[in-house]
């Protein structure tokens, strides 16, 4: 036996492999697209450091030659990847936001955050809140980034994310409800195939013990301090403060063949019944899988989802 060969501690393929010596092998989401002008959408982007102490940046997306006299809705976007993978600079995130910005005529801030297992949850949540505070520092036109000072309408701010990024977007809405970002009016949050879970099955969710144990282990590796799959960080339905979500409109997307589908519906029902004063909608895409809109953005259903998001960000 080759003693130099690393021993696998946890194999979460096709996402990540964690070895007993602490090494991590990410199997997806490591490719990087440099900031550029996309000729197909006419959207340009740039990267700006928001957390020098942790070396974290945001990627800003905006249509080239935007009129300075017209303020644009501001979207803050949190990428998915199970808290383990992807970034604002990954091709699927970068390309999706270029298309969304072009369709909706908005300015987008895509947030980089530290990832598990090297930086366990709640690091991703803390970084995301730091990014929101940095964004909010531009609310009166005196921030360090001219694109936000000159073009962003801080009375029309939205949060959005896919998968684990949708989980983050939800928690940013809760934290905004508690602490309020000064000078910022958060109009809505869109959750695309949110990564929520729980100890006991809901709806038509799988009851297979091995499958559920693997999902629990996956979560516990991302958040070792967690109490388990009914921790409010992964199961918002278990949060007694759910009604304090500091946002007036929520749009939840689910996909028929996504194993997380029932959780999205469960969140929708629980939020409606929580006493929260707001408007929540849910949209299910038939015949599709988790984050299909990122993996196959040109398909008819992905385009329809993009247009629904654009409409949501442009409602008055």
CA distance 34 to 65: 20
Catalytic residue among 38, 162, 239, 258: 258
Q: Is there a contact between 192 and 162 (Cβ–Cβ < 8 Å)?
A: yes
Q: Is there a contact between 128 and 113 (Cβ–Cβ < 8 Å)?
A: yes
Tokens of 6: 């690393």
CA distance 155 to 181: 11
Give the closest residue to 309 by CA, choosing from 23, 146, 75, 81: 75
Is 258 a known active-site residue? yes
CA distance 61 to 117: 29
Which residue, chain included where needed, has tokens 């197909």?
40
Strands (E), the chain: 8-12, 16-19, 24-26, 37-38, 43-51, 56-63, 72-78, 107-111, 152-162, 186-192, 249-255, 279-285
Q: How far is CA 61 from CA 5, 78, 170, 233, 240, in A?
A: 43, 14, 22, 29, 36
Catalytic residue among 163, 171, 239, 293: 163
Name residues whose C-beta falls within 8 Å of residue 303's C-beta, 6 or more positions apart in sequence: 297
186 phi and psi, to 5 degrees?
A: -85, 110
Which residue, chain included where needed, has tokens 């398909």?
299
Enumerate the active-site residues: 163, 258, 290
């Amino acid at each position: 036996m080759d003693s130099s060969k690393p021993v696998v501690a946890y194999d979460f393929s096709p996402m990540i492999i964690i070895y007993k010596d602490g090494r991590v092998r990410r199997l997806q989401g490591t490719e990087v697209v440099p900031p550029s002008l996309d000729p197909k959408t006419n959207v340009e982007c740039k990267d700006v450091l928001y957390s020098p102490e942790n070396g974290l940046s945001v990627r800003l997306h905006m249509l080239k030659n935007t009129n300075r006299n017209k303020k644009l809705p501001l979207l803050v976007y949190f990428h998915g990847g199970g808290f383990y993978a992807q970034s604002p600079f990954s091709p699927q995130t970068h390309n999706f936001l270029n298309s969304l910005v072009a369709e909706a005529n908005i300015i987008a801030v895509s947030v980089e955050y530290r990832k598990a297992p090297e930086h366990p949850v709640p690091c991703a949540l803390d970084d995301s809140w730091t990014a929101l505070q940095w964004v909010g520092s531009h609310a009166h036109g005196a921030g360090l980034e001219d694109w936000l000072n000159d073009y962003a309408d801080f009375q029309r701010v939205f949060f959005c994310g896919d998968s684990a990024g949708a989980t983050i977007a939800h928690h940013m809405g809760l934290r905004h409800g508690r602490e309020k970002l000064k000078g910022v009016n958060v109009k809505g949050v869109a959750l695309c195939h949110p990564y929520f879970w729980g100890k006991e099955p809901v709806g038509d969710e799988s009851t297979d013990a091995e499958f559920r144990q693997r999902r629990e282990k996956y979560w516990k590796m991302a958040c070792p301090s967690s109490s388990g799959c009914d921790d409010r960080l992964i199961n918002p339905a278990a949060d007694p403060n759910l009604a304090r979500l500091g946002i007036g409109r929520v749009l939840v997307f689910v996909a028929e063949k996504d194993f997380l589908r029932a959780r999205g519906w469960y969140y929708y029902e629980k939020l409606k019944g929580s006493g929260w004063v707001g408007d929540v909608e849910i949209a299910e895409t038939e015949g599709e899988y988790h984050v299909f809109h990122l993996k196959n953005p040109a398909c008819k259903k992905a385009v329809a989802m993009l247009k629904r998001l654009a409409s949501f960000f442009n409602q008055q």
